[in-house]
Chain A
Amino acid sequence: MFRSRHLPTSFPPTNHITMSSPPAAKKQKHTNNTAGNSISRGPSHSQIIQRRQKAKDALSSLPADKKASVLERYHGSSTASHRLHTLRHDDKHEDTSNLSSYQLRNLQKRRSNPNTHRGIQRFAECKETKRLENAMEAMHAEEILHDYNSGLIEVETDMERTTQLTQEKLKQDMLEENVARNIYNLELQDYSPYIMRYDRSGRYSLLCGRKGHVAVIDQHTMGLSTEFHLGEVTRDACFLHNGTMMAVAQERNVFIYDENGAEVHRLDGHKRVFGMEFLPYHWLLATIGHAGFLQYQDTSTGEIVSQHRTKMGPCHTLRQNPHNAVLHLGHTNGTVTLWSPSSSEYLVKMLCHKGSAVTSLAIDRSGTYMATGGGDNKVRIWDLRMYKETHYYKTYGGPPVCMDISQTGILGVGHGCHANFWRGEGLKVKVDDMYMKHECSGSGPLESARFRPFEDVCGIGHAGGVSSIVIPGSGEPNLDSNEHFTNPYMDNKQRRETEVRSLLEKLRPDMIALDPDVIGSIEESNLIQKQQRLRDLAESADAKKAAEKEASKSKKQKKKMRGRNKISKKLARKQKNVIDEGTEKLKEAREQERVEKEREQKNRNDGDDHDNDAPAALRRFFNA
């Protein structure tokens, strides 16, 4: 047999060599653990705790703004800690009837032991440590990579209030010329009231007068890039994926125009539209109108992806949640409903303003807070993680008709001829002081208010035209090249390339869900819940089967005649009524035979009447 004598020394050792010294290996492993440098098993728990403490110490020594940016990352959702929480919650549950004996035993063991779920807790701690460390690292990276800082207003004495600042003062004294040119007022009374919206990069603004005047202004050159008159009512207008295309909701249909004002498409499916939103990552144009039909149209293929009947009448208020691309509709009965293309029912329904209509709403960039304005002259702030109201602000002088939340979280509310602005903290907790105020005195009620992306500017549309004002700190200071169509200085070549890339990355409509992280993730397996679910499934399947069985029993069996229309049968049927001599004779003969047989039977029965009466055991004697 082939022996190892022929093996060169460079060959891997055969099995019996490695197997020969297990005690030595074990011993070595043990010493490794005591030394605390077990490389193969990763850092020990105590090391993790040390690292976390170190990171926390570093965090506490940071200045407030950096600390906030770290904490913002750190306090996201964590699967491990969530799992721990649900397990503990399940253990507290009183009803143990549906647990197996094995599960019950384990549960009792856990309840008696103070260190329940220690393994998972350690795992969660390890994850938390890593997340904290990553958040710290990201903060340090940000310091290098981010080249702009957010705008702000600093108060020098206690007596000063930021609300005292007027736009005139800002323009004249406080701002550099490059920024101050963003404060302007266009008086356009002929086609008013106006709405004003920006594209994703904040370069172009779209002006749309109710009486059919549409204009696009390049905010960099302050020049008019397109202007046209439609001669009919326009109810809403929005840019599509970039500043070169816009959708306008007109008297009957929605039309799409290009940058030269040429009509590109007429969207017949959308009738009498009041509100429009464009979902940039899905390339969907969503509209809602007089009939209360929510429609999604894919603007890259032209296909209507889905349409939902809201059954809640005409709707004027439509906004998207930028975090998960779910649409929020504000209805006249005071409710807000959440919609996605894949579900024909609303995902969530909230009663936001009891007894009055929802007039406006806005959602912040992180998808955590929603602000709704109602006919009760209140701006209510909702936490979308719990769907609960956190606090509200009152408006004096008309209901809040328009509202927007800037990229940095500044809340702008328009009511009557006032525009009020709250700081980012105003969404989290109720603050007493407003951030800024602006009044469009003499130019009628406000129609729309939108923040300009990546700039400290807010555009206001009203009955007297449009105004642009500067709200320091409202724009995201740092651009990102990977986000399509957000570069305001994009040249044509970049635009074309971006268009192709963003189409390649177009998300499918059915990916819209309340939790955007659900895609590509694995279902969490909680043993108790899983078993309960399986049991429920089995039960419902059994019930269904039983019901089917019951139904099939009660149903009468249908008698099916087959082959009635065969040619031969048809011919036979035709012959049925023909009187034939031979057949008659045959029939007579058969009849006679039958009668004879009957008679014979009768005679036999008469003869042996008693053998039927006899017991079965004795019957054979009679036959014999």
Chain B
Amino acid sequence: MKVKALNRTKASTTRATPSDLRPVHKNLNPASHPLPRAREYTRAITAAKLDRMFANPFVGELKGGHVDGVNCIGVCRTNLLPVVSGGVDGTVRIWDLQSRTMVKNLEAHSRCVSGVVFGHGGMFYSCGEEGLVKAWSCFPKQSAGDSSDEDSEGYAKKPSSVKRMETDEESPFGPFNTYRLPSVRSSHNSVAFHSIDHHWAISQFATASSDSAVHLWDPNRTSPVTSFSNLWGSDDTVTTVRYNPAESNLIAHCSNDRGIGLHDTRTASALAKTILGMKSNCLEWNPMEPYMFVVGNEDYNAYTFDMRKLKRPTSMYKGHVGAVMSVSWSPTGTEFVTGSYDKTIRIFNARKEGGTASHMGSSSTGIARDIYHTKRMQRVFCTAYTSDHKFILSGSDDTNLRLWKARSSEKIGQLSSREEASLQYRSALVQKYAHLPEVKRIAKSRRIPKLVKKQTAEAIVQKEKKRRKEGNVVKHSKPGTKSFTDERGKVVVKTVD
């Protein structure tokens, strides 16, 4: 008779030296893993809780800030670190994101800085409400011998062909050039600039001004190359102007007559215009799907439009209880951030599914994935994604620039492979059980300011009232004369060709 019994040795289950990893055993027999469903579900709840526990989106403020509200932020499209901001006090400040400190304070304008934008090679342009556009460089000027064109980095060089106009101020950061509209030179009530944007490929920038015109500028010339004035016969001020990232001759703008317009710079012809119920404050093209753009509106909502179909927005993004003042796409084009007059920042998934962290808030579009706020943050005037898609910058009325994580519970820094595996497992668990009420409730919970909460509740009541009223109108009018229109159908008042 042969007998074999289990002879377990200590060596197989323990490590030889303390520096070794502990051996891991697997038993695939399902009988040795009782209650698998209940345990997995409990793990999913814990994962959802942990995700909320680690949610700490505020990284910090940028030290030594403006002395008045921050009005605009410019983020470099080719380099991670340089950031510039323009304040209501007329100063432009250059920041270093890594150390979160100010590099330089430039007394740029005599009135509010209404826009800053990066050009090529570390150059940036600021426009002010006193009617001047100035060109700067975010890297200090090298000595004359160094500023050669074959700089390998590509951004630390100054455009050599720039003609120096004003030489009285010798700052290494500039201004290297000053641009103004020719007709109103040295006039007291000059035309104010409201927005500036640089072309994505070539050296050209566009400004929007209070004379209801859009001007295109060549950096080498002090007067505009082209001017589009009196667009669509409207005298209203153009507030925002943005170049399309892919279509090199397409410009979109928002104006004070509540309109959003597209025009082609080659033909100087207006392409299309749509007029919404209220004024749009900001407009941004999606960097990855360049036929889409998002506008932030005074009616507390943001809308995405397909530029081919301006009659209706493709989606609407609700939740703010104040006018949306700024909007910025993430470089991936899947989500965007909005800053609002209600003192909060919200992040929206722009896609229905497959967003980066769709399980974390709402998986559907239209409702914010996350809401950021602090006690001290006042009305938010400008927001920007950093080009690595990991951080968000916000500038607000309380003179501070704040740095936030784009995903609130993400760990900053490098993850070990075990950490990464564990995080992935947790997020997969939450996604698997996201439809169950307990997990959903935890994953969705956000603490929002009391006032915003109250106003949200009020907005729901108001919306319900409107819906009821519309229902009553349909019910009591002659059959066939009145019908329900969906919410998106009501956004656009009219379109103009």
Q: A residues near B, CB below 8 A?
A: 1-2, 4, 6-8, 10-12, 14, 69, 72-73, 76, 138, 141-142, 145-156, 160, 162, 164-165, 170, 174-176, 178-179, 220, 281, 322-325, 365-367, 407, 454-456, 470, 472-473, 475-483, 487-489, 491, 494, 504-508, 511, 516-521
Quote the shortest CB–CB distance from A563 to chain B (angstroms).
Answer: 37
A507 with B247, Cβ < 8 A, contacts A322-B34, A323-B34 known: no
A478 and B25 contact, CB distance less than 8 A: yes
A1 touches which of B12, B29, B272 (Cβ 8 Å) = B272
A477 with B6, Cβ < 8 A, contacts A155-B1, A507-B38 known: yes
CA A478 to CA B9, docked complex, whole Å: 12
CA A117 to CA B328, docked complex, whole Å: 53
Let me know if B436 is at the binding interface, CB within 8 A: yes
12 A–B contact pairs at CB < 8 A?
Answer: A6-B250, A6-B264, A6-B271, A76-B30, A145-B27, A152-B4, A165-B3, A220-B10, A281-B34, A281-B39, A456-B5, A518-B37
Let me know if B7 is at the binding interface, CB within 8 A: yes
Per-position contact with A for B6-27: 1 when CB-CB < 8 Å, else 0?
1111101110000000101111
CA A367 to CA B35, docked complex, whole Å: 11
Per-position contact with A for B38-77: 1 when CB-CB < 8 Å, else 0?
1111110010000000000000000000000000000000
Question: What total of A-B pairs shows CB separation below 8 Å?
Answer: 178
CB neighbours of B9 from chain A (8 A):
178
CA A76 to CA B31, docked complex, whole Å: 11
A456 and B6 contact, CB distance less than 8 A: yes
CB neighbours of A2 from chain B (8 A):
262, 271-272, 307-308, 310
Let me know if B2 is at the binding interface, CB within 8 A: yes
Q: Which chain B residue shows the least CB distance to A280?
A: B34
CB neighbours of B5 from chain A (8 A):
151, 175-176, 179, 456, 470, 472-473
Quote the shortest CB–CB distance from B277 to chain A (angstroms).
Answer: 22
A174 touches which of B3, B33, B262 (Cβ 8 Å) = B3
Let me know if B246 is at the binding interface, CB within 8 A: yes
CB neighbours of B12 from chain A (8 A):
147
A145 and B6 contact, CB distance less than 8 A: no
A505 touches which of B30, B42, B250 (Cβ 8 Å) = B42
A504 touches which of B6, B8, B28, B46 (Cβ 8 Å) = B46
CA A489 to CA B291, docked complex, whole Å: 62
CB neighbours of A178 from chain B (8 A):
7, 9
CA A483 to CA B28, docked complex, whole Å: 12
CA A141 to CA B272, docked complex, whole Å: 63
Q: Which chain A residue shows the least CB distance to B262?
A: A2
A151 and B13 contact, CB distance less than 8 A: no
CA A150 to CA B262, docked complex, whole Å: 76
Quote the shortest CB–CB distance from A511 to chain B (angstroms).
Answer: 5
A176 with B7, Cβ < 8 A, contacts A2-B271, A6-B271, A154-B1 known: yes
B28 and A475 contact, CB distance less than 8 A: no
B1 and A148 contact, CB distance less than 8 A: no
CA A365 to CA B9, docked complex, whole Å: 25
CA A624 to CA B240, docked complex, whole Å: 92
B34 and A507 contact, CB distance less than 8 A: no
CA A494 to CA B40, docked complex, whole Å: 22
CA A174 to CA B35, docked complex, whole Å: 39
Q: Which chain B residue shows the least CB distance to A513?
A: B38
CB neighbours of B404 from chain A (8 A):
none
B7 and A146 contact, CB distance less than 8 A: no
Quote the shortest CB–CB distance from B180 to chain A (angstroms).
Answer: 31
Let me know if B497 is at the binding interface, CB within 8 A: yes
B26 and A481 contact, CB distance less than 8 A: yes
Q: Which chain B residue shows the least CB distance to A470?
A: B5
CA A155 to CA B29, docked complex, whole Å: 27
A481 and B6 contact, CB distance less than 8 A: no
A480 and B32 contact, CB distance less than 8 A: yes
Quote the shortest CB–CB distance from B393 to chain A (angstroms).
Answer: 30
CB neighbours of A160 from chain B (8 A):
1
CA A258 to CA B182, docked complex, whole Å: 90
A506 touches which of B32, B42, B250 (Cβ 8 Å) = B42
- Chain B 482-497 residues near chain A, CB threshold 8 A: 497
Query: Other CB < 8 Å A-B pairs besides A176-B5, A281-B39, 17 of them?
Result: A2-B308, A4-B308, A6-B250, A145-B28, A151-B3, A153-B4, A160-B1, A175-B3, A175-B5, A454-B6, A481-B25, A481-B26, A487-B13, A487-B25, A507-B42, A519-B38, A520-B37
A516 touches which of B3, B37, B271, B310 (Cβ 8 Å) = B37
B32 and A365 contact, CB distance less than 8 A: yes
Q: Which chain B residue shows the least CB distance to A180?
A: B5
Let me know if B155 is at the binding interface, CB within 8 A: no
Quote the shortest CB–CB distance from B388 to chain A (angstroms).
Answer: 25
CB neighbours of A12 from chain B (8 A):
291
CA A175 to CA B247, docked complex, whole Å: 82
Q: Which chain A residue shows the least CB distance to B44?
A: A520
B25 and A1 contact, CB distance less than 8 A: no
Q: Which chain A residue shows the least CB distance to B246?
A: A8
Let me know if B433 is at the binding interface, CB within 8 A: yes
Quote the shortest CB–CB distance from B7 to chain A (angstroms).
Answer: 5
CA A145 to CA B6, docked complex, whole Å: 17
Q: Which chain A residue shows the least CB distance to B22?
A: A494
CA A70 to CA B43, docked complex, whole Å: 28
Quote the shortest CB–CB distance from A161 to chain B (angstroms).
Answer: 9
Q: Which chain B residue shows the least CB distance to A487?
A: B13
CB neighbours of A175 from chain B (8 A):
3, 5
CB neighbours of A483 from chain B (8 A):
27, 32-33
A14 and B308 contact, CB distance less than 8 A: yes
Task: Sort A-B residue pairs by CB-CB distance and give the 4 closest, nearest first.
Answer: A480-B27, A2-B271, A154-B2, A151-B5
CA A323 to CA B433, docked complex, whole Å: 22
Quote the shortest CB–CB distance from A2 to chain B (angstroms).
Answer: 4
CB neighbours of A281 from chain B (8 A):
34-35, 38-39
CB neighbours of B43 from chain A (8 A):
505
Per-position contact with A for B268-294: 1 when CB-CB < 8 Å, else 0?
000110000000000000000011000
Q: Which chain B residue shows the least CB distance to A151?
A: B5
A325 with B35, Cβ < 8 A, contacts A2-B262, A479-B13, A481-B26 known: yes
CA A489 to CA B14, docked complex, whole Å: 7
CA A175 to CA B250, docked complex, whole Å: 87
CA A390 to CA B32, docked complex, whole Å: 24
CA A323 to CA B33, docked complex, whole Å: 9
B46 and A505 contact, CB distance less than 8 A: yes
B10 touches which of A145, A481, A489 (Cβ 8 Å) = A489
A480 and B433 contact, CB distance less than 8 A: no
CA A233 to CA B387, docked complex, whole Å: 74
A170 touches which of B3, B26, B33 (Cβ 8 Å) = B3
CB neighbours of A220 from chain B (8 A):
10
CB neighbours of B262 from chain A (8 A):
2
A8 and B247 contact, CB distance less than 8 A: yes
A455 and B8 contact, CB distance less than 8 A: yes
A521 with B37, Cβ < 8 A, contacts A2-B307, A11-B291, A73-B30 known: yes
CA A174 to CA B3, docked complex, whole Å: 6
CB neighbours of A455 from chain B (8 A):
6, 8
CB neighbours of B6 from chain A (8 A):
148, 150-151, 179, 454-456, 472, 475, 477
A10 touches which of B14, B35, B46, B246 (Cβ 8 Å) = B246
Q: Which chain A residue shows the least CB distance to B26?
A: A145
CB neighbours of A72 from chain B (8 A):
29
A491 and B35 contact, CB distance less than 8 A: no
CA A14 to CA B39, docked complex, whole Å: 49
- Chain B 226-249 residues near chain A, CB threshold 8 A: 246-247, 249
Q: Which chain A residue shows the least CB distance to B250?
A: A6
CB neighbours of A323 from chain B (8 A):
31, 34-35
Q: Which chain A residue shows the least CB distance to B264?
A: A6
CB neighbours of A325 from chain B (8 A):
34-35
CB neighbours of A470 from chain B (8 A):
5
Quote the shortest CB–CB distance from A607 to chain B (angstroms).
Answer: 60
